[in-house]
Structures are given as C-alpha cells and as structure tokens.
Amino acid sequence: MSAAALLASDQAGACPLQITGQTVPHGIVSQALLSAPGLRATLFNFAAGQELSEHTSTARVLVQVMSGRCEFSIEGQPRVLTPGELLHLPPSTPHAVRALEDMTLLVIQGMPPKE
C-alpha cells in the first residue's frame, strides 16, 4: 500500500478514482485516498482470481465496485457484486472477497470517535 494518501485530511481536494501505473497481473494493489481521524478511503485493484480470506474490521465499511465483478462472502453467504453496487458491512461482520475478473473496489471505513 502506498504510504501517503492522495488527499490531505485538513483541506478540501479531489483525486482520480484509479490507480495509475500500478497494475499487477497476479496480485492486489491499493492506494490510500484519504486517511483522517475516524475515516479512511482506499482504492483496491485486484487481478482476476485474487482473493482476501475471511476477516473482520472494527470499522463500519462501505464497498463500491468501480469496475469488474467479484464474489463477496458475508458471514459465509456468497453474492456476486457488479459495477455500481454498494455494499455495507457493520463492524465485526466476517467477510471475504474474490475477484471474478480484474476489478477495482473503493473501500470506505468509518470508525466511531475515540472517547
């Protein structure tokens, strides 16, 4: 994953929703778009056939399929997601993803403020 986010957390800005020059024919590439207190946005490019095994997140997660198709398993139940679909995962929901073809996902993680 790239170390620096494309957007500064303390100012307004815009960035392209694509990862340029970082394609991997048999892997997963990510680019942080924004990292701010309580909020993180990351773009992921998956090569066809790549997958992330089941895991959970303490954050509330929104996943938007930008291009390609994937199989998302949520609590063990698979479903195919296509471009334009938005998936919501409450905190601690077990999930996994497998790229059915080359695909790009926009993942937004929201964490409650620390008390």
Task: Find the domain containing 61 and state its range.
Answer: 38-110
Q: Is residue 20 part of a domain?
A: no
**Does the model's pTM come out above 0.75?**
yes
Q: How many domains does the chain have?
A: 1
Q: Could you give the dihedral angle defined by the CA atoms of residues 88, 91, 95 and 100, in that order, rounded to the nearest 10 degrees? A: 30
The 10s digit of each residue's pLDDT in 97-106 is 999 999 999 9
Q: Which of 100, 83, 99 has its CA nearest to residue 29?
A: 99
Mean pLDDT of 33-53: 94
Cα(33)–Cα(36) distance, integer angstroms: 10
Per-residue pLDDT at 1: 42
Residue 78's pLDDT band (boundaries 50, 70, 90)?
very high
Q: Is residue 80 part of a domain?
A: yes
Cα(44)–Cα(19) distance, integer angstroms: 8
Look up the CATH number of the domain holding residue 91: 2.60.120.10
Q: Is residue 33 part of a domain?
A: no
